[in-house]
Structure 1
């Protein structure tokens, strides 16, 4: 069916006004992308960086901004090796400028010119003894969980949940090295009445081997249902885009149309020769189930539009809303947005 024939599709101008939702509207799930580069209220919402086992090929200013905004940094198994290689690749830049490493949470010595995670967790089959000893010497805590019946992503989220909500629990020494984290989480989190909300940036979930990408998408969907206090934002390790998991119902993604992250330091490909800013690409991806979609703030908005893999999918759309976009979906929906 062509665009002209589909009455559920509305073509907009290249900029339209989209009103911000009322802060009192509890029926809207708000995702504020300014959290990526702003200062979060850590008393109510934490920012966490979780690094999976994929090569990190992002520009240093971008990665450093993410690193410095995260109050908790966790590597899932081989993600620690990828992080060390990334530090070695950018060693000269890290030594020349202190702006890239404002702090390492677990190291008082600011002369450490590399990225040092707070935790490494997993079955540890993808980390060498050299890498393990290196990070241990710099204060990183390492927790082995050897069970093959849980994904390293799941193990990492259990550790993150415990670290944020049960800071007095000895995560390293209070449970076994097989599947103890999952049991420790269940035991302690049952008594937490108001678990801390967190935005978890998962680096390396997208890209690399296709089966690993699908696996990450599957586990993030499952974890989002089990832990609604966590907002998962997947990051492509090779391309500057967010991949959000929107919940069933009405969502608002707050991202200003003409705003560049990091003062435009790494977004030069979005600035034309005459100084204008290109529109952000966006895709609405029904990777879980068939959905019915309604949107506001896109170049091609849809109203009560059926979307599924093998049917209609809104890819290569554009963000034109001045304050962001609304997406109402009948089920979980993945959305990728360029920085």
Structure 2
């Protein structure tokens, strides 16, 4: 992509606001967005992360009639401690707000929480958006999972993070995949290269 194209895209997709403790916000970035009418709001709370501060701000604006899908970009890359902290925060936020769904997009993957029930994921192999690589991670506690549509399907299979067995590096083999779990687990699927 050419530099001019990137500048045009940045102008087209302005955020509704920038919110956090702003300790790493460069002056030139602040000036750029403020000049375009984007509010830059400082929250000095040092007992929460910037993501937590943003979720508090989003939650305060939600009404019962609103769609509650939040796309979080640039996640789960970089520092491991920050990635694990984010996974903790999405679990907390989805438990606070039953209708909220957080979609974590990184350069390489899409991740989200599968809640305790049966879930049907449709069209995973359509349009070449995703590769076949998926994982089901019981990061919120031991789980019993069942799957259909994968290379290595399981039935009432115990899985846990503390030295137990995990379903990572599995492969989607059907357009629709069914997953059952008795407790929330993290689902992740690899994005296809652009």
TM-score band (shorter)?
A: 0.7 to 0.9
* 1:92 equivalent in alignment to 2:7: no
Larger radius of gyration: 1
Instruction: State the Cα deviation string for residues 156-189 of structure 1 (Å, max 9, x = none).
Output: 11222344x3xxxxxxxxxxxxxxxxxxxxxxxx
Counterpart for residue 328 of structure 1 = 180
Distance in 1 (CA, whole Å) between partners of 2:95 and 2:65 is 15
SS where residue 53 of structure 2 aligns? helix
Is residue 195–residue 229 contact of structure 1 (8 Å, CA) maintained in 2?
no
Instruction: State the Cα deviation string for residues 14-60 of structure 1 (Å, max 9, x = none).
Output: xxxxxxxxxxxxxxxxxxxxxxxxxxxxxxxxxxxxxxxxxxxxxx6
Is residue 224–residue 230 contact of structure 1 (8 Å, CA) maintained in 2?
yes
Cα RMSD of the aligned pairs, angstroms, is 2.1
SS where residue 98 of structure 2 aligns? coil
* 1:198 equivalent in alignment to 2:68: yes
Task: Normalising by structure 1, report the TM-score.
Answer: 0.52
Instruction: State the Cα deviation string for residues 106-153 of structure 1 (Å, max 9, x = none).
Output: xxxxxx746422210001111123321221011111211111122211
Where does the alignment leave 5 or more consecutive residues of structure 1 unmatched? 1-59, 61-89, 102-111, 166-191, 262-266, 268-278
* 1:295 equivalent in alignment to 2:147: yes
SS where residue 284 of structure 1 aligns? strand
Structure 1 residue 197: deviation in Å?
2.6
Is residue 282–residue 335 contact of structure 1 (8 Å, CA) maintained in 2?
yes
- Where do 4+ consecutive residues of structure 1 move more than 6 Å? none
Counterpart for residue 337 of structure 1 = 189
Counterpart for residue 118 of structure 1 = 16
Instruction: Say how many residue pairs are matched.
Output: 190
SS where residue 14 of structure 2 aligns? coil
Counterpart for residue 92 of structure 2 = 222
- Larger relative contact order, structure 1 or 2 (CA cutoff 8 Å, min sep 6): 1
